[in-house]
Structure 1
Amino acid sequence: MYAVIKTGGKQYKVAAGEKLKVEQIPADIGAVITLNQILAVGEGESIQFGTPLVSGASVKATIVAHSRNTKVKIFKMRRRKHYQKHSGHRQSYTELRVDAINA
């Protein structure tokens, strides 16, 4: 069984037992959270789509870790003007383990 969830403005296809990295969620490590924004639930050939959400569906997940992605380097330059600017960005994320999908 799999589900398409929405969290952090993005959509993810998940199945029970999978690990995935999502936008940072303010909760403790080891906490069990419930994701209620389920866009679709399916098993084999049968798929149930929501309009826009599937009513009564939820996904239970455990928070495994909080961390930060690799640095993205940003470099701006204007030719012949002696202008150069260096900066970087590291996005924080939360790693989840999907425990159960309730349709």
Structure 2
Amino acid sequence: MYAIVEIAGKQFKVAEGDRLYVPRLKDDVGADVTFDRVLLTSGDAGVSVGAPTVEGASVSASVLAHVKGDKIIVFKKKRRKGYRVKNGHRQPYTQIKIGSLSVN
């Protein structure tokens, strides 16, 4: 069984036991979170598509860690003008583990 869930404005395909990196959540490490914006569920009973969400469906997960992504180098330059700027960026993510998918 799997589901398509909207987490922090992005869509993820999840199944029980999956580990995902999602945009940074405000919950503490070890906390249990529930996502109610389930857009699609698929299982033994067939596929259920929401309009826009599936009624009574939810996904529970636990927060494993708060991490940063790989460094992205941003380099700007204007030729013949002596203008050079180098910046780095690391996007914050939260690692979660999917616990259970429930459809009522």
Q: CA RMSD in A?
A: 1.2
Structure 1 position 45, deviation (Å) = 8.0
Q: Which residue of 2 aligns with 1:22?
A: 22
- The TM-score, its normalising length taken from structure 1, stands at 0.95
Per the alignment, in what secondary structure is the counterpart of residue 17 of structure 1?
coil
Task: Give the gaps of 5 or more residues in structure 1.
Answer: none
Distance in 2 between residues matched to 1:101 and 1:45, nearest whole Å: 14
For 1:20-59, what aligned pairs fall within 5 Å after superposition?
20-43=20-43, 46-59=46-59
> CA–CA distance in 1 between the matches of 2:64 and 2:41?
24
Structure-2 residue corresponding to 1:12: 12
- Mapped partners of 2:10, 2:28: distance in 1: 22
State percent identity of aligned pairs. Answer: 39
- Structure 2 length-normalised TM: 0.94
Alignment of structure 1 residues 70-81 onto 2, 5 Å: 70-81=70-81
Residue 101 of structure 1 corresponds to which residue in structure 2?
101
| Aligned equivalents of 1:52, 1:37: Cα separation in 2 | 9
Separation in 2 of the partners of 1:44 and 1:96?
Answer: 25
Structure 2: where are the runs of 5+ without partners? none
**Could you tell me which amino acid in structure 2 is paired with residue 30 of structure 1?**
G
- Does residue 69 of structure 1 match 2:69? yes
CA distance, structure 2, for counterparts of residue 80 and residue 46 of structure 1:
63
Once the two structures are TM-superposed, the CA of residue 44 in structure 1 deviates from its matched residue by: 5.5
